[in-house]
């Protein structure tokens, strides 16, 4: 893969956030990559994702990212107006995105069985996550940034959500960078895994190195024991 194909690149990026510091982060993402970022609570996963989403500036290092309109986000906090239903949202959402695709959004709403008439405030957590994903996948984003999208979902919805992400990445040669606490998510869809610990990347590997969640878990225990 030559350098032209690199869409996301971080070279020795550092960022201080109060007492916490992200140290010398290096990351490269190419089309078709699904990168899972794992690590203990407070390791800096969400902070890294916020840097990747243009939300946080950096203190030092170099960063190369697509423009924000080419990125799709699913963060816990990005709820659309809670009092509205999908039917009502469909009227104004095209104005929020440069390349909004009504037909694709409608297809995802059907495919993910998201209710159209109900107000979003009355959605379950799973329904809200699915809506966030439908929005993120409906404006031709080249890069998806997904913060713990599978947490708290039942196994069937989790599989459904992971499949939709994987299909999108494959179909559009997009990139997905996702944080998760579930090793099963890593094995199911990611091709690369990044492990963070106290603001640094302590492992950056191809998932093909691991046969299953047990072998990945064993590796994690080894590195944590060695620290």
Ligand X SMILES: Nc1ncnc2c1ncn2[C@@H]1O[C@H](COP(=O)(O)OP(=O)(O)OP(=O)(O)O)[C@@H](O)[C@H]1O
Is residue 83 involved in binding ligand X (CB under 6 A)?
no
List the one residue from 7, 29, 45, 137 that touches ligand X (CB under 6 A).
45
Tokens 């046969």 -> residue: 211
In whole angstroms, the minimum distance from the beta carbon of 213 to ligand X comes to 18
Q: Which is nearer to ligand X, 32 or 46 (CB)?
A: 46
Cα–Cα distance measured from residue 60 to residue 71, given in angstroms and rounded to the nearest whole number? 23
Exposure letters 12-33 (e unless 16+ CB within 10 A, then b) = ebebeeeeebbeebebbbbeeb
With CA atoms as reference, report the closest residue to 73 among 139, 119, 29: 139
Of 28-36, 39-47, 168-176, 182-190, the window that binds ligand X (rule: CB under 6 A) is: 39-47
In whole angstroms, the minimum distance from the beta carbon of 10 to ligand X comes to 15
Cα–Cα distance measured from residue 153 to residue 174, given in angstroms and rounded to the nearest whole number? 24
Is residue 57 involved in binding ligand X (CB under 6 A)?
no
Is residue 20 involved in binding ligand X (CB under 6 A)?
yes
Size of the site for ligand X (CB under 6 A): 11
191 Cα distance to chain centroid: 14
List the one residue from 9, 14, 46, 106 that touches ligand X (CB under 6 A).
46
In whole angstroms, the minimum distance from the beta carbon of 42 to ligand X comes to 4
Q: What is the DSSP string of 127-170?
A: HHHHHHHHHHTSS--SEEEEESTTTT--HHHHHHHHHHHHHHHH
Of 35-43, 87-95, 154-162, 204-212, the window that binds ligand X (rule: CB under 6 A) is: 35-43
Is residue 16 involved in binding ligand X (CB under 6 A)?
no
List the one residue from 3, 4, 41, 211 that touches ligand X (CB under 6 A).
41
In whole angstroms, the minimum distance from the beta carbon of 152 to ligand X comes to 13
* Tokens standing for residue 203: 């492992």
Cα–Cα distance measured from residue 158 to residue 185, given in angstroms and rounded to the nearest whole number? 9
In whole angstroms, the minimum distance from the beta carbon of 46 to ligand X comes to 3
Where does this chain bind ligand X (CB under 6 A)? Answer: 17-18, 20, 39, 41-47
């Amino acid at each position: 893969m030559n350098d032209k194909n690199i869409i996301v690149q971080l070279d020795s990026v550092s960022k201080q956030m109060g007492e916490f510091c992200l140290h010398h982060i290096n990351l490269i993402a190419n089309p078709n990559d699904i990168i899972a970022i794992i690590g203990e609570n407070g390791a800096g996963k969400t902070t890294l994702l916020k840097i990747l989403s243009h939300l946080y500036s950096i203190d030092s290092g170099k960063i190369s990212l697509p423009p924000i309109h080419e990125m799709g986000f699913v963060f816990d906090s990005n709820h659309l107006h809670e009092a509205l239903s999908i039917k009502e949202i469909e009227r104004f959402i095209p104005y929020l995105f440069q390349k909004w695709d009504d037909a694709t959004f409608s297809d995802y709403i059907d495919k993910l069985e998201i209710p159209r008439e109900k107000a979003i405030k009355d959605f379950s957590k799973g329904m809200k996550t699915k809506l966030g994903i439908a929005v993120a996948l409906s404006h031709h984003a080249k890069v998806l940034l997904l913060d713990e999208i599978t947490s708290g979902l039942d196994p069937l919805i989790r599989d459904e959500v992971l499949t939709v992400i994987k299909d999108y990445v494959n179909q559009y040669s997009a990139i997905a960078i996702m944080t998760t606490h579930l090793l099963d998510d890593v094995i199911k869809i990611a091709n690369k895994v990044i492990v963070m610990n106290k603001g640094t990347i302590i492992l950056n590997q191809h998932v093909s190195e691991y046969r299953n969640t047990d072998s990945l878990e064993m590796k994690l225990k080894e590195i944590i024991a060695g620290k």
